[in-house]
Structure 1
Amino acid sequence: MGTKSNSHLLHHAFFTRTQAERESFNAYLIELKKLAKRCNLGVQEEEILKFSLISGLKNTELRESLFKFPELTMDQISERCRISEQFAKYSPSQSHDPVSMVEAVHSRAMTSRHTYQGQGFPPHVLNENRQFRPHAPNQSQQRYPHGQTQQYPH
Protein backbone atom coordinates (compact mmCIF):
# COMPACT_ATOMS: atom_id res chain seq x y z
CA MET A 1 0.00 0.00 0.00
CA GLY A 2 1.41 3.38 -0.98
CA THR A 3 1.89 6.48 1.10
CA LYS A 4 -0.94 8.26 -0.69
CA SER A 5 -3.50 5.53 0.05
CA ASN A 6 -2.29 5.37 3.67
CA SER A 7 -2.87 9.13 3.91
CA HIS A 8 -6.38 8.69 2.52
CA LEU A 9 -7.12 6.00 5.10
CA LEU A 10 -5.90 8.24 7.93
CA HIS A 11 -8.05 11.12 6.69
CA HIS A 12 -11.03 8.80 6.35
CA ALA A 13 -10.53 7.54 9.92
CA PHE A 14 -10.30 11.13 11.20
CA PHE A 15 -13.31 12.53 9.35
CA THR A 16 -15.58 9.58 10.14
CA ARG A 17 -14.59 9.27 13.83
CA THR A 18 -17.54 9.74 16.17
CA GLN A 19 -17.92 9.39 19.91
CA ALA A 20 -18.98 5.86 20.86
CA GLU A 21 -22.07 5.38 23.02
CA ARG A 22 -20.20 4.65 26.26
CA GLU A 23 -17.04 6.60 25.39
CA SER A 24 -16.18 9.52 27.66
CA PHE A 25 -15.64 12.92 26.14
CA ASN A 26 -11.98 12.95 27.24
CA ALA A 27 -11.28 9.58 25.58
CA TYR A 28 -12.99 10.77 22.38
CA LEU A 29 -11.02 14.03 22.37
CA ILE A 30 -7.67 12.29 22.92
CA GLU A 31 -8.26 9.81 20.09
CA LEU A 32 -9.46 12.52 17.71
CA LYS A 33 -6.38 14.66 18.47
CA LYS A 34 -4.11 11.66 17.79
CA LEU A 35 -5.78 11.10 14.43
CA ALA A 36 -5.52 14.81 13.57
CA LYS A 37 -1.76 14.82 14.26
CA ARG A 38 -1.24 11.76 12.06
CA CYS A 39 -3.19 13.41 9.22
CA ASN A 40 -0.90 16.48 9.08
CA LEU A 41 -3.79 18.89 8.60
CA GLY A 42 -1.51 21.93 8.57
CA VAL A 43 -2.43 25.45 9.62
CA GLN A 44 -6.16 24.68 9.64
CA GLU A 45 -5.75 21.79 12.10
CA GLU A 46 -7.43 23.55 15.04
CA GLU A 47 -10.50 24.63 13.02
CA ILE A 48 -10.87 21.23 11.35
CA LEU A 49 -10.44 19.50 14.72
CA LYS A 50 -13.13 21.72 16.30
CA PHE A 51 -15.57 20.95 13.49
CA SER A 52 -14.89 17.20 13.59
CA LEU A 53 -15.06 17.12 17.37
CA ILE A 54 -18.47 18.78 17.46
CA SER A 55 -19.77 16.80 14.47
CA GLY A 56 -18.95 13.50 16.14
CA LEU A 57 -20.50 14.17 19.55
CA LYS A 58 -23.07 11.57 20.63
CA ASN A 59 -25.24 14.24 22.31
CA THR A 60 -27.26 15.74 19.46
CA GLU A 61 -28.58 18.69 21.50
CA LEU A 62 -25.10 19.63 22.67
CA ARG A 63 -23.78 19.35 19.11
CA GLU A 64 -26.49 21.69 17.79
CA SER A 65 -25.86 24.13 20.63
CA LEU A 66 -22.10 24.24 20.01
CA PHE A 67 -22.55 24.89 16.29
CA LYS A 68 -24.42 28.09 17.23
CA PHE A 69 -21.17 29.52 18.64
CA PRO A 70 -18.45 29.27 15.95
CA GLU A 71 -16.19 31.64 17.90
CA LEU A 72 -15.69 29.16 20.77
CA THR A 73 -12.15 27.96 21.37
CA MET A 74 -11.20 24.31 21.81
CA ASP A 75 -10.91 24.89 25.56
CA GLN A 76 -14.40 26.40 25.74
CA ILE A 77 -15.88 23.58 23.67
CA SER A 78 -14.14 20.99 25.84
CA GLU A 79 -15.37 22.68 29.02
CA ARG A 80 -18.98 22.69 27.80
CA CYS A 81 -18.74 19.04 26.78
CA ARG A 82 -17.29 18.00 30.14
CA ILE A 83 -19.94 19.93 32.07
CA SER A 84 -22.69 18.36 29.99
CA GLU A 85 -21.21 14.90 30.49
CA GLN A 86 -20.93 15.39 34.26
CA PHE A 87 -24.46 16.72 34.46
CA ALA A 88 -25.81 13.71 32.56
CA LYS A 89 -23.76 11.36 34.74
CA TYR A 90 -25.05 12.71 38.06
CA SER A 91 -28.60 13.53 37.01
CA PRO A 92 -30.47 10.25 36.60
CA SER A 93 -33.85 11.91 36.18
CA GLN A 94 -32.73 13.99 33.18
CA SER A 95 -35.56 16.37 34.10
CA HIS A 96 -33.35 19.31 33.17
CA ASP A 97 -31.88 19.75 29.71
CA PRO A 98 -28.08 19.41 30.11
CA VAL A 99 -27.43 21.71 27.15
CA SER A 100 -29.43 24.58 28.62
CA MET A 101 -27.73 24.02 31.98
CA VAL A 102 -24.30 24.25 30.31
CA GLU A 103 -25.34 27.39 28.42
CA ALA A 104 -26.63 28.97 31.64
CA VAL A 105 -23.35 28.28 33.45
CA HIS A 106 -21.33 29.58 30.50
CA SER A 107 -23.37 32.78 30.11
CA ARG A 108 -23.19 33.49 33.85
CA ALA A 109 -19.41 33.04 33.78
CA MET A 110 -19.09 35.34 30.77
CA THR A 111 -21.23 38.14 32.26
CA SER A 112 -19.82 38.17 35.77
CA ARG A 113 -16.64 40.21 35.65
CA HIS A 114 -16.21 40.82 39.36
CA THR A 115 -16.59 37.28 40.61
CA TYR A 116 -14.47 34.20 40.26
CA GLN A 117 -15.68 32.62 37.00
CA GLY A 118 -19.28 33.51 37.75
CA GLN A 119 -19.39 31.39 40.89
CA GLY A 120 -20.36 34.28 43.15
CA PHE A 121 -17.05 34.57 44.98
CA PRO A 122 -15.05 37.79 44.79
CA PRO A 123 -11.48 37.04 43.67
CA HIS A 124 -9.95 38.33 46.91
CA VAL A 125 -11.54 35.53 48.99
CA LEU A 126 -9.96 32.77 46.89
CA ASN A 127 -6.31 31.81 46.86
CA GLU A 128 -4.35 30.81 43.77
CA ASN A 129 -5.61 27.21 44.11
CA ARG A 130 -9.23 28.40 43.87
CA GLN A 131 -9.83 27.63 47.53
CA PHE A 132 -11.17 29.96 50.16
CA ARG A 133 -8.52 31.97 51.93
CA PRO A 134 -8.60 31.56 55.69
CA HIS A 135 -9.60 34.80 57.35
CA ALA A 136 -7.54 35.80 60.35
CA PRO A 137 -9.01 38.88 62.02
CA ASN A 138 -6.51 41.10 63.73
CA GLN A 139 -6.07 40.52 67.44
CA SER A 140 -8.17 43.47 68.54
CA GLN A 141 -11.28 42.36 66.64
CA GLN A 142 -13.62 39.41 66.91
CA ARG A 143 -15.55 38.67 63.71
CA TYR A 144 -19.21 37.73 63.88
CA PRO A 145 -21.56 36.53 61.14
CA HIS A 146 -22.79 39.17 58.70
CA GLY A 147 -19.56 41.18 58.95
CA GLN A 148 -20.18 42.66 62.41
CA THR A 149 -17.15 43.16 64.60
CA GLN A 150 -16.67 43.83 68.26
CA GLN A 151 -13.74 45.83 69.51
CA TYR A 152 -11.80 44.57 72.51
CA PRO A 153 -9.83 46.95 74.71
CA HIS A 154 -6.07 46.68 74.50
Structure 2
Amino acid sequence: MTTQTTLQQELDQAFANWTKAAQQFGSEQYNLVPFEGSWTPGQIVQHLTQANGGFADMLYGETKQTERPADQHVGLLKDIMLNFDAKMEAPDFVHPEMKDYEKEPHLAKIKAINATLTKAIADLDLSATCLGFELPGIGYVTRLEALHFVMLHTIRHTSQLNKAYQQLAN
Protein backbone atom coordinates (compact mmCIF):
# COMPACT_ATOMS: atom_id res chain seq x y z
CA MET A 1 0.00 0.00 0.00
CA THR A 2 1.14 3.55 -0.73
CA THR A 3 2.65 5.41 2.20
CA GLN A 4 1.37 8.85 3.13
CA THR A 5 4.72 10.38 2.16
CA THR A 6 4.73 8.72 -1.27
CA LEU A 7 1.10 9.66 -1.87
CA GLN A 8 1.81 13.27 -0.89
CA GLN A 9 4.82 13.43 -3.21
CA GLU A 10 2.90 11.94 -6.13
CA LEU A 11 -0.05 14.26 -5.57
CA ASP A 12 2.24 17.30 -5.29
CA GLN A 13 3.93 16.31 -8.56
CA ALA A 14 0.58 15.89 -10.32
CA PHE A 15 -0.57 19.30 -9.10
CA ALA A 16 2.75 20.94 -10.04
CA ASN A 17 2.44 19.49 -13.55
CA TRP A 18 -1.19 20.66 -13.75
CA THR A 19 -0.18 24.17 -12.68
CA LYS A 20 2.67 24.25 -15.20
CA ALA A 21 0.37 23.02 -17.99
CA ALA A 22 -2.24 25.69 -17.18
CA GLN A 23 0.37 28.45 -16.95
CA GLN A 24 1.72 27.84 -20.45
CA PHE A 25 -1.36 29.31 -22.12
CA GLY A 26 -1.69 32.97 -22.96
CA SER A 27 -4.96 34.57 -21.85
CA GLU A 28 -6.40 34.37 -25.38
CA GLN A 29 -5.32 30.74 -25.89
CA TYR A 30 -6.85 29.78 -22.54
CA ASN A 31 -10.34 30.09 -24.03
CA LEU A 32 -9.78 28.71 -27.54
CA VAL A 33 -10.99 25.29 -28.66
CA PRO A 34 -7.80 23.51 -29.77
CA PHE A 35 -9.57 20.94 -31.98
CA GLU A 36 -13.09 19.80 -32.73
CA GLY A 37 -14.77 18.01 -29.85
CA SER A 38 -12.35 19.38 -27.24
CA TRP A 39 -12.89 21.67 -24.33
CA THR A 40 -10.91 24.89 -24.12
CA PRO A 41 -7.94 24.86 -21.73
CA GLY A 42 -9.99 27.04 -19.39
CA GLN A 43 -12.81 24.49 -19.42
CA ILE A 44 -10.38 21.63 -18.73
CA VAL A 45 -8.99 23.46 -15.70
CA GLN A 46 -12.50 24.41 -14.56
CA HIS A 47 -13.57 20.76 -14.78
CA LEU A 48 -10.56 19.66 -12.74
CA THR A 49 -11.08 22.31 -10.07
CA GLN A 50 -14.75 21.35 -9.78
CA ALA A 51 -14.07 17.61 -9.59
CA ASN A 52 -10.96 17.78 -7.41
CA GLY A 53 -12.59 20.33 -5.11
CA GLY A 54 -15.57 18.00 -4.73
CA PHE A 55 -13.30 15.12 -3.78
CA ALA A 56 -11.48 17.34 -1.29
CA ASP A 57 -14.84 18.09 0.36
CA MET A 58 -15.81 14.40 0.27
CA LEU A 59 -12.69 13.41 2.24
CA TYR A 60 -13.97 15.43 5.20
CA GLY A 61 -17.53 14.14 4.88
CA GLU A 62 -19.26 11.12 6.38
CA THR A 63 -17.28 7.87 6.38
CA LYS A 64 -17.54 4.34 7.65
CA GLN A 65 -15.03 1.67 8.56
CA THR A 66 -13.81 -0.19 5.47
CA GLU A 67 -14.27 -3.94 5.28
CA ARG A 68 -11.88 -4.57 2.36
CA PRO A 69 -8.32 -3.54 1.50
CA ALA A 70 -8.23 0.27 1.48
CA ASP A 71 -6.37 0.29 -1.84
CA GLN A 72 -8.47 -2.41 -3.56
CA HIS A 73 -9.62 -0.14 -6.42
CA VAL A 74 -6.36 1.75 -7.02
CA GLY A 75 -5.26 -0.57 -9.85
CA LEU A 76 -8.65 -0.30 -11.54
CA LEU A 77 -8.59 3.49 -11.23
CA LYS A 78 -5.14 3.55 -12.85
CA ASP A 79 -6.34 1.34 -15.69
CA ILE A 80 -9.34 3.59 -16.33
CA MET A 81 -7.82 7.04 -15.85
CA LEU A 82 -4.48 6.41 -17.56
CA ASN A 83 -6.07 4.89 -20.68
CA PHE A 84 -5.61 8.00 -22.79
CA ASP A 85 -7.22 6.33 -25.81
CA ALA A 86 -10.58 6.06 -24.03
CA LYS A 87 -12.90 9.06 -24.36
CA MET A 88 -14.98 9.73 -21.25
CA GLU A 89 -17.98 11.91 -20.53
CA ALA A 90 -17.92 14.11 -17.46
CA PRO A 91 -21.02 13.99 -15.26
CA ASP A 92 -23.20 17.08 -15.57
CA PHE A 93 -22.26 18.42 -12.13
CA VAL A 94 -18.59 18.77 -13.18
CA HIS A 95 -19.22 19.68 -16.81
CA PRO A 96 -17.71 23.14 -17.35
CA GLU A 97 -19.73 25.95 -18.85
CA MET A 98 -18.78 27.18 -22.31
CA LYS A 99 -17.56 30.63 -21.34
CA ASP A 100 -14.33 32.56 -20.98
CA TYR A 101 -12.29 31.66 -17.91
CA GLU A 102 -9.49 33.58 -16.24
CA LYS A 103 -6.30 31.69 -15.56
CA GLU A 104 -5.20 33.40 -12.31
CA PRO A 105 -8.28 32.47 -10.25
CA HIS A 106 -7.92 28.91 -11.51
CA LEU A 107 -4.28 28.81 -10.41
CA ALA A 108 -5.31 30.02 -6.95
CA LYS A 109 -7.96 27.26 -6.77
CA ILE A 110 -5.39 24.62 -7.74
CA LYS A 111 -3.16 25.79 -4.89
CA ALA A 112 -6.07 25.79 -2.40
CA ILE A 113 -7.24 22.30 -3.38
CA ASN A 114 -3.70 20.97 -3.05
CA ALA A 115 -3.46 22.48 0.44
CA THR A 116 -6.76 20.84 1.45
CA LEU A 117 -5.62 17.47 0.14
CA THR A 118 -2.24 17.81 1.87
CA LYS A 119 -4.03 18.42 5.17
CA ALA A 120 -6.31 15.43 4.55
CA ILE A 121 -3.36 13.12 3.91
CA ALA A 122 -1.70 14.26 7.15
CA ASP A 123 -4.79 14.33 9.38
CA LEU A 124 -7.32 11.71 8.25
CA ASP A 125 -7.64 7.95 8.39
CA LEU A 126 -7.13 7.17 4.70
CA SER A 127 -8.56 3.65 5.09
CA ALA A 128 -12.06 4.95 5.88
CA THR A 129 -14.75 4.66 3.18
CA CYS A 130 -16.27 7.95 2.01
CA LEU A 131 -20.06 7.94 1.86
CA GLY A 132 -20.57 11.25 0.08
CA PHE A 133 -20.31 10.00 -3.50
CA GLU A 134 -20.16 6.74 -5.41
CA LEU A 135 -17.82 6.45 -8.38
CA PRO A 136 -19.78 5.09 -11.36
CA GLY A 137 -19.05 1.40 -11.83
CA ILE A 138 -17.03 1.20 -8.60
CA GLY A 139 -19.20 2.48 -5.77
CA TYR A 140 -18.01 4.03 -2.54
CA VAL A 141 -14.25 4.48 -2.29
CA THR A 142 -11.85 4.87 0.57
CA ARG A 143 -10.11 8.16 1.22
CA LEU A 144 -6.94 6.57 -0.13
CA GLU A 145 -8.70 5.59 -3.36
CA ALA A 146 -10.32 9.03 -3.61
CA LEU A 147 -6.89 10.67 -3.37
CA HIS A 148 -5.56 8.33 -6.04
CA PHE A 149 -8.55 9.22 -8.23
CA VAL A 150 -7.79 12.93 -7.84
CA MET A 151 -4.14 12.35 -8.72
CA LEU A 152 -4.91 10.13 -11.73
CA HIS A 153 -7.70 12.42 -12.95
CA THR A 154 -5.26 15.33 -12.71
CA ILE A 155 -2.62 13.42 -14.68
CA ARG A 156 -5.20 12.57 -17.35
CA HIS A 157 -6.34 16.14 -17.85
CA THR A 158 -2.83 17.57 -17.57
CA SER A 159 -1.98 15.43 -20.58
CA GLN A 160 -5.05 16.85 -22.31
CA LEU A 161 -3.88 20.40 -21.48
CA ASN A 162 -0.44 19.70 -22.92
CA LYS A 163 -1.96 18.32 -26.14
CA ALA A 164 -4.19 21.39 -26.40
CA TYR A 165 -1.15 23.63 -25.98
CA GLN A 166 0.73 21.82 -28.73
CA GLN A 167 -2.26 22.22 -31.03
CA LEU A 168 -2.79 25.91 -30.24
CA ALA A 169 0.93 26.72 -30.52
CA ASN A 170 1.01 25.55 -34.16
* Interval containing the TM-score (normalised by the shorter chain): under 0.3
TM-score (norm 2): 0.22
TM-score (norm 1): 0.24
Higher Rg of the two aligned structures: 1
